[in-house]
Amino acid sequence: MTDWSLLVDEADIAALLPDAYAHYARPIKRALTVFLEGLPVAHQDAVLRDQAALGPAATLPERVARLARSCPALHKLGQTLARDRRLLPELRVQLQRLESLPPSIPFEEIGSILTRELGPLDRCGVVLEPPALAEASVAVVVPFRFEGRDEGVFKILKPGIEERLEQELALLERVGCLLDEECETLAIPRLDYRDVFEGLAERLRHEIRLDIEQRHLEYAGETYGNDPRIQIPGLFGFSTPRITAMERVYGDKVTDYPFDGEEDRRACAELLVTSLIARPILSTGEAALFHGDPHAGNLLRTRDRRIAILDWSLATTLAEARRVAFVQIVLGAVTLDARRIAAALAALSEQQEVDPDAVTPVIHAALDRLRAGGLPGLLWITDLLDDAVQVGVRFDAKMLVMRKMLHALEGVIADIGADRTCIDAVLLRDFFAQMTAEWPSRLLASPGSRAFATRLSNADLAGVMMSMPLTATRFWLDLSSRR
């Protein structure tokens, strides 16, 4: 049995983390050790062979990326973190290679899987066009032609991936239990890690539920169908729970696309923000669809300069009540109203309540950033949520996916070469444009109605106007107290 506690070095982990997160090196080592020790012996041996194959000159980021490639659950985590600007550039470069890997499964085996699922392919009018295009954490992508003319791809689950992923997700849940037991020893906040990891494991199980992804694809096609700038792959009629047959998309990862200049880069970045964040936030539906996994491998700039959004397996919906809470945080920021922000954080939390003594310093620190010239936009809200987690506020799996999505998209936009502040600039532009469009219908709306895309009631707007003198007073009193 391999003693992973000797092989996983705490100092190495600390070297990969930003200074603000270096104190997490010890719990990360403990979690990773428990995870690796729980793998089947044959899988542990394969991980060790992969590491040995790198040779003694391999860098630490290279070893981390190879470890992630060896385990589907870690592979997905690596893809999520690949564009996170808080990590070392050398590590991000290695993790970005996980976004799309060369195929490793023999093409004959792929053909056998398809035949078992669909029957003889010629009877379906399908002709495969080897080689396979790419491999991801749980699936491989293979091109085909349908009835001699339509081009498509099969997304096919890897052989044995269901059992392997289930083993790893069960280990993640075990890691959550361990962290709960050792909070004091590891000097980490008490967050009920078991629930957090169980929620994340449940979300990751959707990676192998291709039938769920197919429903998301259909929903996304309806949602974005009227936008000529966006392409959602269309589905063919012969998909199964283990195979998705969809339209083939030609293009480059948005981070690799040869842009014409700064204006072209910014236009692409703004379209990503509008389509992936502003559109769902400003949805009029009861539940808005968020992509959930916007790493660069899932975002292509097509030959006709559209944005193709791929892989909807981790998509999630955000209920109307939570979108209202996001808007209430913004209103609290604009009016420097800490109580309104605390109430909105409680509405977003899993328990529908927060500890005032814990969150008040976090909120005041966030308001200080606004007083120093920050904008009360999505980047500010994401930082607020991250800080709230550090003091014990619990968010469910959907909110965790949402936060990770925002961090990933921020990294993609930065890697395109656009200014990260365009996220807030675009959101504010789209928000105020929508608010302007709502004015005629507001004349007939009741004061408390939030039946608007902005989720602002007339009472909210009136309250903001009436609180302006108090906001100014708060600002000057705070400024005076600092002199």
In degrees rounded to 5, what are phi and psi of residue 275?
A: -80, -40
Residue 282 in domain? no
* CA atoms of 92 and 68, how far apart (whole Å): 13
Q: Are residues 438 and 465 in the same domain?
A: yes
* CA atoms of 299 and 307, how far apart (whole Å): 7
- Tell me the residue range of the domain where 3 lies: 1-99
How many helices (H) and strands (E) in the chain? 21, 11
Q: Are residues 63 and 128 in the same domain?
A: no
* Contact present, 94 and 64 (Cβ < 8 Å): yes
Domain boundary among 228, 248, 268: 248
Residue 295 in domain? no
Q: Are residues 124 and 85 in the same domain?
A: no
Q: Which amino acid is at 254?
A: V
Domain boundary among 99, 121, 147: 99
Q: Are residues 156 and 205 in the same domain?
A: yes
Q: Are residues 228 and 347 in the same domain?
A: no
Residue 186 in domain? yes
Residue 330 in domain? yes
Handedness of CA 246, 248, 249, 251 (dihedral sign): positive
Residue 192 in domain? yes
Q: Are residues 122 and 69 in the same domain?
A: no
Residue 347 in domain? yes
Q: What is the 3-state secondary structure (H, E, C) of 22-65?
A: HHHHHHHHHHHHHHHHHCCHHHHHHHHHHHHHHCCCCCHHHHHH
Q: Are residues 48 and 106 in the same domain?
A: no
Q: Are residues 67 and 130 in the same domain?
A: no
| Class of residue 479 by CB neighbours under 10 A (exposed 0-12, middle 13-18, buried 19+) | exposed
pLDDT (0 to 100) of residue 378: 79
pLDDT, tens digit only, all 483 positions of the chain: 678 888 888 898 888 888 877 888 899 999 999 999 999 999 999 999 999 998 888 899 999 999 998 998 888 888 878 877 778 888 888 888 888 788 888 888 999 999 999 999 888 889 999 888 988 888 999 999 998 788 999 999 998 899 998 999 899 889 888 888 888 888 877 767 777 778 778 878 888 899 999 999 999 999 998 999 999 999 998 899 999 999 999 999 999 999 998 899 999 999 999 999 889 888 888 888 899 888 888 999 998 999 999 999 888 888 888 888 988 988 888 888 899 999 999 998 888 888 888 999 999 999 988 888 777 887 888 889 888 988 888 887 778 777 778 888 888 888 898 777 788 888 888 888 988 898 888 888 898 888 888 888 888 888 777 766 555 455 444 544 544
Domain boundary among 190, 217, 248: 248
Residue 343 in domain? yes
Q: Are residues 327 and 448 in the same domain?
A: yes
Residue 307 in domain? no
Q: Are residues 330 and 439 in the same domain?
A: yes
User: In the chain, how many domains are there?
Assistant: 3
Q: Are residues 81 and 29 in the same domain?
A: yes
Q: Are residues 72 and 192 in the same domain?
A: no
pLDDT (0 to 100) of residue 1: 67
